[in-house]
Amino acid sequence: MMRLFQILCIIFAVFAVSCKEETSPEELAAKAAKIYYEHLFSGNYSEYLSGLDGTDSIPENYREQLLVNVKQFVVSQKAIHNGIGEVRVLRSQTDSVAGYTNVFLLLCFGDSVKEEVVVPMVERDGVWRMK
């Protein structure tokens, strides 16, 4: 009887593992885009900038200029819309011909304005980055 129980447990475990859904590339791209934008609006500008494709190989003075531009954008959004309260993923769609995934985010501003933005994402060495 114990042997039958063990066999049933193994069959159930194999069945459970085989039925587990894997995370799609679109979901991974969407999660990455959302995290990058959350970094942006929470003041983690370097983390946001590290999510841009190609920024790991730019000169330091250019990187600093990009950081200043990003900071200025966030400050202006705080002044105009009372900042960003939330970033939501609406959907994502892969363009297999162009080789990137468009992630549609909804930016929910502090003054109740909502704006949909499209963030093209590319995968480089297993890491999703903004194009």
Domains of the chain: residue spans and CATH: 24-130 (3.10.450.50)
The per-residue pLDDT for range 95-104, each reduced to its tens digit, is 888 889 999 9
Taking the whole predicted model, whether its pTM rises above 0.85 is answered as no
Question: Of the candidates 110, 34, 118, 49, which has an alpha carbon nearest to the alpha carbon of residue 77?
Answer: 110
* Rounded Cα–Cα distance for residues 76 and 60 (Å): 24
The pLDDT, as a whole number, for residue 21 is 67
Asked if 105 contacts 87 with a C-beta cutoff of 8 angstroms, the reply is yes
C-alpha dihedral sign at 23, 25, 26, 29? positive
Q: Which two tokens stand for residue 37?
A: 């934008």
pLDDT confidence bin for 43, thresholds 50/70/90:
very high
The per-residue pLDDT for range 77-117, each reduced to its tens digit, is 999 999 999 999 999 999 888 889 999 999 999 999 999 99
